[in-house]
Amino acid sequence: MKNTRDNPPEDDFEIRCPRLGHEISFSYCRSENKGLPCFKTLDCWHTYFKVEFFFSNRLTPEQMEQIFQKQTKPKILSLMELIEQAKKTKKKQS
């Protein structure tokens, strides 16, 4: 069933954040990224209201793409890169 609600829920309504692991309101999600929305906001809130519509009326197309279309690295890849950096740093110090 498609959600037809145009506006976000009030701040007393919270959902579990998959990144933080606890309950948060939409107001946090819409500004946690240096004043911009979290990249997961569309995924997390789409069942509660028309979140993409909400942001498309408030952000530029460039901001929408930058925030929501940007591909993030898988955690394992980020960890491998950090390990390689640490190895290089250790070699330089030796």
Q: Which two tokens stand for residue 41?
A: 């906001």
Mean pLDDT of 3-13: 89
Query: What is the pLDDT of the chain when averaged over all its residues?
Result: 89
**Least confident stretch, 5-14, 40-49, 73-82:** 73-82
23 backbone dihedrals φ, ψ, rounded to 5°: -75, 135
Mean pLDDT of 72-81: 78
* Reported pTM: 0.69
The pLDDT value given to residue 72: 64
